[in-house]
Amino acid sequence: QVQLVESGGGLVQAGGSLTLSCAEASGRTFSNYAMGWFRQAPGKEREFVGAIKWSGRSPLYADPVKGRFTMSIDNAKNTVYLQMNSLKPEDTAVYYCAARYLTIATMTNAYHYWGQGTQVTVSS
């Protein structure tokens, strides 16, 4: 069973940076998986942030974060990262990582495995 554990959330001022981590805790390798990042703000639906193949190829970003957020993979640590720069108050949300087999996708229901989420709060 895939177990995803996010970390790295917190409180940051607008314009600041945070890096979120998503580690696979059960020891399973992710070589044939694609990883997605999503976020959910209070009262809103969960939305797509970005997705990347475990090979590091084909990164895809949602328009609101393009140019500010960057995903990366550390195969040795079985961990995917979301580097968030130039943060805005509207980036405030619970951030989730998710995994699915092979191909990236933007829809939440396309992902089979989810982490517990980590809170990111950006103050103005």
Q: What is the pLDDT along the chain (124 residues), one digit of tens a residue?
A: 789 999 999 999 999 999 999 998 888 777 789 999 999 999 999 999 999 998 888 899 999 999 999 999 998 898 999 999 999 999 999 999 999 998 999 999 999 999 999 999 999 9
Type of residue numbered 2? V
Chain center to CA of 45 = 16
Per-residue model confidence (pLDDT) at position 107: 97
Per-residue model confidence (pLDDT) at position 26: 83
Alpha-carbon span 48 to 113, nearest angstrom: 15
Q: Where are the beta strands (DSSP E) in 1-124?
A: 4-7, 10-13, 18-24, 33-40, 47-53, 60-61, 69-74, 79-84, 93-101, 113-114, 118-123
